[in-house]
Structures are given as structure tokens and as C-alpha cells.
Structure 1
Amino acid sequence: MKLFTKKVLETALNEEMTEHLGHEKNRAEAGRDSSNVRNGQRSKTVVTDAVGEVEIEVPRDRESTFEPQIVKKRQRRLTDVGEVVLSLYAKGMTTGEISAHFSEIHGTSVSKETISRITDTVVAEMQEWVGCALDSVYAAVFIDAIAVKVRDGQVANRPVYAAIGVTVDGRKDVLGMWMRGTGGEGAKFWMSVLVDLKNRGVTDVFFLVCDGLYRTPYPQYVPARRAAAPGLSQA
């Protein structure tokens, strides 16, 4: 989550700088009115409610006239950024919903074109992550759903399904996040989540840790030896 938060904030900051200067990085236009250009970066640590401290790189301009909006100067604490990041990286979010998130954060401080560029960059990073290959075997996989606020015309709570894997050498990884429409957790949707993990290379899980939802509709998937993940070995 710290990595996701860092990527989202830095993407927005860099696109804000592009709008401020009027040209993209390394593409300064000849004959422009201002001689102002990018002038490196400075490190800054922000504190979020969801993941604690996150170190980000804030772009600087030569004339020091850049006023970032997503992380303002001297701002250290960011509220509600955790829910935004969770929803942005959940498979199933539409481009319009992602754009609405950034529009809400920035208000009228940046143009629609900048919001579009931020959205396109985040969507590209998100798609690369949600499709990455996974380990074939995990010692444990934890699955659960949490409710996050999503704005698309109006604010509504929507469930994000998350799978956290523990590798055989003890490392914890976020395997994926999936979003569906309003409503509670459902066995059929969990099946689609597990099939997605299987399609990305997972062949076996020693322990599947969940709230027991799968036991009622899928009792045949719970052998005495261990709780195997439906949609993986038994699919």
C-alpha cells in the first residue's frame, strides 16, 4: 500500500508540474514565454491514516513558483488517501470513476486535461500490476472484503475484495484487489477472484484464510487435510 500511495501521489504531482510549466518533462517548447523548467526533486515524508509514513519525491521548478495541490507545501498529513488508493488499484474500476477521484481531490485547481493525464498514467500502472504473474505456490492466502467510498456522480460505499499472499519464504504480497457493485460479499464473486489468481499462475495454497463464506456453497472444496482454495487446485 505504501508503494501504491507513493505512485499515485507522484504521478499527480508530476502532471501538476507539467500543467504549471506548459510542457512535459524533457520536451520544452522552443520560443516559450517562460524560461522556467524542472529543477530536480525533493524528498518529503507524508503521513496517511491507512499506511503511516510514505516518502515521496516532489518535483521542483527553477523559479520556485510551483504550488502543488494534491500535497500542498508544508502539508504533512493526508486524510482519506488510503481509500482512494485502494479503489484506484482495484480491478473493476472504470476510467470515469478514477477520473472522478482525482477531480474531487484537485477541485478546480488543475485542468480537465491534467486530470485526464493523471488518470491515464495511473490506469496504465494499475493494469500492469493487476496482470503481473504470481508465484505458483503460497503458504497462505488471506481473503476478505472492505468497503471504500467511490465517487461517480455521488459517493457510495463499494466493496473491494483483497487477497494477501504469504510466500513460502515468508514474504507478504498483495496478490490483487477487485471491485464489484454495491452489495455484500458473495460466493460467486469470490470464485471469480480465485479463478483470476489461478489464471495468473497460482496452482496451490497451503492455507486459505477467510470468514467461512466458501464452506456453505462449496463444501466439496474443504478436504480434511487443509482448506484448499476453490478455483485453484480443484477448478
Structure 2
Amino acid sequence: MILPKILLKHSNNQDKINDLLRKELQQAVNDLLEAELTAFLGYDPYARDGWNTGNSRNGAYFRKVDTQFGEIEIQVPRDRNGLFHQHTLPDYKQHADVLENMIIKLYSKGVTTREIADLIEKMYGSHYSPAQVSNISKQMIPKVEAYHKRKLSDKFFCVYLDATYVPLRRETFEREAVYIAIGIKPNGHKEVIDYCIAPNENIEVWTELLQSMKSRGLEQVELFLLDGVVGMKTALAKTYPQAHFQRCLVHVMRNICAKVRVEDREAIMNEFKQIHQQANKAAAVDILHAFYAKWDKSYNHVIRNLKDIEPDLLVFYNYPKQIRASIYSTNMIESFNNVIKRKPKPKAEFPTEQSLDTFIGILAMSYNDRYFNRIHKGFGQVQDTLESYFD
């Protein structure tokens, strides 16, 4: 063994010993990482066995990690398909991971990779190229994939469904639909259940998302809240036949205001708001019918459409008054949508669907961590009542 002889030679120089050990440790860790990738791919570098396997080596990204012997530079190898995840180094446990955590947080706020690289260097004096920043953000891809596949709770009291549009580049620059489901459990805990991305909003994608939720363990939902997507009520009945349906009153009010004269909008809006502010359902029905009578002559087509959906307007009154403010509209999910739409602005558009998926996944997991074990307003007071709605 050569190293012990060298260490003995420099036994009186601790700095020299630390430098030697640092270099040995750096080489050992890099060798282990390369061996991990070889085992993952199933063939050695440049071996003929790797031809036409569908995956190959794809360079490396660099990490600087503090050790008891000083800072070492680690080369983490990559595969072309982005499936390899090393286990030699624990995720986010070393000093350098403070910077990597910062990079991921900045990425989740919509800051571009080039801007992140400049900010990190100015703040910490450590240089990361835009490509390295991009590679660090890609470390979240397996976590996002696991999020999409995780086992779900077997029951949610209510589930909010809504779609928002985010810029995404495919063949051309487009705005694509992000389908989002946020739920509140009977104990009041809320979470982003799941989301998916598609070129536009349609009933087929919503049906797939609902079926995916059920296949992953979500068996019972008492109440769904959403706007008026055509065919959605039928899709819900097929997947969750016992669930009830509340149409978002805020969306309904917006639709009404878009179809009436400007000079009537304020009065109509103020009167329609009274519908969800009553003490009970009977009083709300009286207010709604008075609204019909007052405006039917001026806006017959609007009132006719409103009468058609009346069974879905006042369902929230069937539940305890403590939670009604949370279940007559999809405002809660829209606040999450606004975060998604606000934060990507510096990016202008996402280059790939995977980059958009990773971005939203980080936000969704952060949201779930932030609200883990928090009880949504009003739900804690009626938990036993809400539990009684389930088998």
C-alpha cells in the first residue's frame, strides 16, 4: 500500500496529510459513482455491450462537498435518459447542498437557470454554470415522478378541480392546460392530490385524472367543486357515483356578468352574492328566485341558463355552516393556480413538458409540506360530522 507510506512520511505535517486524504476521498467517491452508473447501465465505458441498448453515458455534473479533510469536487455521472439516480452521496446532506437547495427554491419561483447561476455566485461566491443549475433542478424529476405515483388517502371530504393555462413550447409556443385537483380530508388537512398537463382542457383528460386518483387509493369523495366544464358531472358520476357536485358560484357570477350590460353588472353582482350569504338553504332559494323574477325580462337567456343549473348551485348548504365559506367556490384552488401563473413569468415559457411538470411538482410538494397537519378554517369544529358522511 502506497498511501500509508506517504502518510508516515508526512506524519508531522497535518495539513499535508489532510490534503492527501482529501484527494484519496475525492477519487474514491468519484470511482464509486462511476461504478454505480456502470451497474445501472449494465456495461463498462466504451464496451460493445452498450451499443443499441437505448441508454448511454451522458457526461457528468459537478458538486463541491465539504468533508473533514476539506472540500472535494464530485463528478456525478449522468445517463442520456435521465433515469440514473446515485446513492453514494445522500441527497442534500452536505454543506454544498445549501446552495443546491437554494437553486431548487429559486427555480420553483420561476427564476431562469442563467439568472440563478449569477445570483448564487454573487451571494455565495460559488460558481454554477446554467447547465449545472439545470442538472441540479433535474434531481427533482424522480421525486416528482414518485409524487405522481404515491398512494393516496382513501377519502377526501371535498375535492376542488380546476384548470389553468401556462406557456409551454412544443412545436410552437402555446399555452397549455394544467389540470389540478386539491382536496380537504374530513380532518381538515388539505393537499394537492395530483395534476397533469395537456394541450387543452377536455373531459377525456379530466376522466383520466379522476380514474388515476381512484386507482391510487382515493375511494370516496363527498363533494366535488368545479366550474361548468361540459360533461364533467357525468364523468364524476361514473368514477365517484356517491359524490355530490357543487358548481363554483364565483365562476357562475363571472359568466353572468360577461353577458349583461355594463351598467347592470354591479347591481347583478351584489344581488347574486346574497345567494351564498344566507343562514340556510330555504332562504337562499328565496333570494335566487327573486333574482330570477327581477332580471328575467332583461336577460331571459341568462336566467334560463341559470335555472338549468340550479340543482348544482346550493348543494353547499347541505353541509355545516362552519365550512360553507370554503365550499361554495373554487377560490382555494385558484389561489394555487395564481402561484403557478405568477411564478413562471421570468421564464416566459417552459422549453419542455418535463420542465413544466418538474416546476409544478416542486410547487405541489412544497404546498403539501407547508399545509401538512394544518386544519383548514372551520373544518376542525365539525370533524366528527364530516367523518359521518363516509362508510
| Aligned residue identity for 2:165 | A
What is the CA deviation profile of residues 119-155 of structure 1, one whole-angstrom value per residue up to 9, with x for unaligned ones?
A: 4311022112121111111100000001122356865
Residue pairs, 1:32-47, within 5 angstroms: 40=95
What is the CA deviation profile of residues 167-221 of structure 1, one whole-angstrom value per residue up to 9, with x for unaligned ones?
A: 011111100111112x3x1000100010110111001110011113254672792
Q: Please give the secondary structure, in 1, of the residue aligned with 2:245.
A: coil
Cα deviation, residue 115, structure 1:
3.8
Q: Please give the secondary structure, in 1, of the residue aligned with 2:147.
A: helix
Q: Give the Cα–Cα distance (whole angstroms) in 1 for the partners of residues 217 and 243 of structure 2.
A: 23
- Asked if structure 2 preserves the Cα contact closer than 8 Å seen for 1:39 and 1:59, the reply is no
Give 1:226's match in structure 2, choosing from 241, 244, 250. Answer: 244
In the alignment, what sits opposite 2:144?
Answer: 126
Q: Please give the secondary structure, in 2, of the residue aligned with 1:156.
A: strand
Residue pairs, 1:148-167, within 5 angstroms: 148-151=166-169, 155-167=173-185
Matched, 1:142 2:183: no
| Aligned residue identity for 1:136 | D
- Asked if structure 2 preserves the Cα contact closer than 8 Å seen for 1:70 and 1:106, the reply is no
Q: Give the Cα–Cα distance (whole angstroms) in 1 for the partners of residues 161 and 231 of structure 2.
A: 14
Give 2:211's match in structure 1, choosing from 192, 195, 199. Answer: 195
Cα deviation, residue 29, structure 1:
3.6
- Asked if structure 1 preserves the Cα contact closer than 8 Å seen for 2:168 and 2:175, the reply is yes
Q: Please give the secondary structure, in 2, of the residue aligned with 1:202.
A: coil
Give 2:132's match in structure 1, choosing from 93, 96, 114. Answer: 114
Q: Give the Cα–Cα distance (whole angstroms) in 2 for the partners of residues 69 and 216 of structure 1.
A: 39
Give 1:205's match in structure 2, choosing from 202, 221, 225. Answer: 221
Matched, 1:23 2:41: no
Q: Give the Cα–Cα distance (whole angstroms) in 1 for the partners of residues 172 and 128 of structure 2.
A: 21
TM-score, length of structure 2 as denominator length:
0.32
TM-score, length of structure 1 as denominator length:
0.50
Cα deviation, residue 156, structure 1:
3.1
Q: Give the Cα–Cα distance (whole angstroms) in 2 for the partners of residues 69 and 226 of structure 1.
A: 43
- Tell me which protein shows more strand as a share of its residues: 1
Q: Give the Cα–Cα distance (whole angstroms) in 2 for the partners of residues 139 and 195 of structure 1.
A: 18
Q: Give the Cα–Cα distance (whole angstroms) in 2 for the partners of residues 225 and 199 of structure 1.
A: 16
Q: Please give the secondary structure, in 1, of the residue aligned with 2:227.
A: coil
Q: Please give the secondary structure, in 1, of the residue aligned with 2:192.
A: strand
- Asked if structure 2 preserves the Cα contact closer than 8 Å seen for 1:221 and 1:227, the reply is no
Give the number of equivalent residue pairs: 154
Q: Give the Cα–Cα distance (whole angstroms) in 2 for the partners of residues 153 and 226 of structure 1.
A: 40
| Unmatched runs of 5 consecutive residues or more in structure 1 | 1-17, 31-37, 42-56, 61-67, 72-77, 85-100, 229-235
| Aligned residue identity for 2:194 | G
- Tell me which protein shows more helix as a share of its residues: 2
Question: Over alpha carbons, which structure has the higher Rg?
Answer: 2
Cα deviation, residue 224, structure 1:
9.2
In the alignment, what sits opposite 2:193?
Answer: 175
What is the CA deviation profile of residues 42-81 of structure 1, one whole-angstrom value per residue up to 9, with x for unaligned ones?
A: xxxxxxxxxxxxxxx9549xxxxxxx8888xxxxxx8x95
